Structure 1
Amino acid sequence: MSTLGLLGGSLPLIGLSLIFSIALAVHVVRTGRELFWLWIILIFQPLGGLVYFIAIVLPELTRGSGARKLEQTARAALDPAREYREAKRACEDTPTVRNQSRLAEAAAQLGRFDEAEQLYAQAAQGIHAEDPALLLGRANALLELGRPQEALDVIELIPGGETSDPLAPGAVLALARAHESLGHTAQADAAFAEAVQRVAGFEAFGRHAAFMARNGRKDEARAAVADMDKRLTKLSGHFRKEGKRWRDLAAKALSEA
């Protein structure tokens, strides 16, 4: 067989290897991984790409968000500050966007919303300036800090916020909270109603019921709490505890209305 034939036969493999490496390089950048992975992937292709896929991508694919959430919840119950300490150490060693985001989330879980807001703001720069997760994290921190107008300004930066495309479910809920805090009752009601339909879990239900109670719609709020009570009977363990938290928030607002 001629040299040209051998080269021609290998071209498809070279092309696939290049596409594979480029896709993994994009994953490194978008997820805020340490930049040394880019060198490993691009210089030692395709072996470097395979190492990254096995070490980083494959565990993400095989472990769903639900499993990660349960693991984080269990760890938080045993040692609430553990994730924060580990995230802070990782961020100090390698201040990537991913590590900043992780530390911001851990800070928010401990109620350190000032720190969380600053970290999210620092992370949402350059190519990450429109990252929905970073912007939403910052908006939620601003809401907890009682700065709803700033939160609303940040939400409007989230892709879809100023177009006909729908906002992500979590962003819709943040939007509803911001509008309520600013006294935009009609906009808040519409956003809460949409969040109830799109956000998984009980938070949207509970916050909407509390909103209705605070705005003179006690009968609707009572009906919403009763509906949550029925739904809670079908849950168990962590999910029931989390759901009851939002049901109790609504019930408290109803009793104070």
Structure 2
Amino acid sequence: MPFLGIGLSSAIALFFIFHAIRTQQDRYWICIIFMVPFLGSLIYFAAICLPKLRSTPVGYQIETKLRKTQDPERELYEAQKKYEASQNSTTRINLGKALVDNNRADEALTYYQQALTGNNATSPDILLQYAYALFMDHQYTKAKETLNFLREKNPNYSSDESHLLYARVLVSLNEREQAKKELETLISYFPSLEAISFYLQTLIGWNQIDKANHVLLIIEHRLSYLPKHTKRLNAQWIKNIEQSKQKLNQLSKGVN
């Protein structure tokens, strides 16, 4: 086992040495990695690789997930501090969002309501966040009313997220025909794996096996054309789709 650890440490060190040479880093990095392989590799990664990784979408997502894992309430704490320092629409909205992200949607509602006053009373972006908070608090009827109000006051506002949220609200209210129409319209122009994954899950929940199998074929066709980096960004939805596929296969066997 000690030899395995030494071998792994050396392999990692060689990887970063080759990286330093290929990217034309200062030669002292090679010396640092060579003299203290494990610690040197760690320092090199933190100083050279991590800043560049942060600038990519995948890197940003990884950093965000790590930060939330290490300190899940940090964003909430910072939002609360800013709100206490200056109570305005921006700090109220940010605090509301942080509360929703920490599964405290019921507490977020008050801050969104306070933000939806004056010139912001019909703001589509704030209304959308408020509707989402209502949805997360299981206030589906009120969420639907808020989204209808958003559409009424902002007829030219276009948001794929609002359409998906509206569909999710309709499903929660068991308004199947309207929800199905909304979802089919959405996935016809919005190439989101989140949207079509949700539609597949919904059809399975409604026990519409034939329709679900048809949607699964569409999904698999789209997945076959996705580049690797897009698949990495959509890993969560792809995992959900795979789970839905397994469940659908079991249901299909039961029908047959």
CA distance in 2: counterparts of 1:256 and 1:138, whole angstroms:
38
Question: Equivalences for 1:59-70 in 2 at 5 Å?
Answer: 70=61
Secondary structure of 1:157's aligned partner = helix
Seen in structure 2, the aligned counterparts of structure 1 residues 134 and 238 have a Cα distance that, compared at 3 Å, is: farther
Q: Percent identity?
A: 20
Cα contact 2:58–2:233 (8 A) shared by 1: no
Once the two structures are overlaid, the 10-residue window that deviates more, 224-233 or 147-156, is 224-233
Partner of 1:242: 236
User: Offset at 1:255?
Assistant: 7.7
Question: Equivalences for 1:80-229 in 2 at 5 Å?
Answer: 80-158=72-150, 160-161=151-152, 165=156, 167-199=158-190, 201-225=192-216, 227-228=218-219
Seen in structure 2, the aligned counterparts of structure 1 residues 82 and 235 have a Cα distance that, compared at 3 Å, is: farther
Which runs of structure 1 show a deviation greater than 6 angstroms over 4 or more consecutive aligned residues?
A: none
Provide structure 1 residue ranges, at least 5 long, that are not aligned to the other structure.
1-63
User: Offset at 1:200?
Assistant: 5.5
Cα contact 2:124–2:154 (8 A) shared by 1: no
Q: What's the TM-score, normalizing by structure 2?
A: 0.63
Seen in structure 2, the aligned counterparts of structure 1 residues 85 and 256 have a Cα distance that, compared at 3 Å, is: farther
Secondary structure of 2:234's aligned partner = helix
Cα contact 1:142–1:150 (8 A) shared by 2: yes
CA distance in 2: counterparts of 1:74 and 1:195, whole angstroms:
32
Cα contact 1:87–1:106 (8 A) shared by 2: yes
CA distance in 2: counterparts of 1:87 and 1:109, whole angstroms:
12
CA distance in 2: counterparts of 1:228 and 1:86, whole angstroms:
40
Seen in structure 2, the aligned counterparts of structure 1 residues 139 and 68 have a Cα distance that, compared at 3 Å, is: farther
CA distance in 1: counterparts of 2:95 and 2:132, whole angstroms:
15
Could you give the per-residue CA deviations for residues 192-229 of structure 1, whole angstroms, max 9, x where no partner exists?
A: 12222454632211111112112232233234345545
Q: Given residue 247 of structure 1, which amino acid in structure 2 is its aligned partner?
A: I
Query: Larger C-alpha radius of gyration, 1 or 2?
Result: 2
Partner of 2:5: none
Seen in structure 2, the aligned counterparts of structure 1 residues 85 and 190 have a Cα distance that, compared at 3 Å, is: same
Cα contact 1:202–1:246 (8 A) shared by 2: no
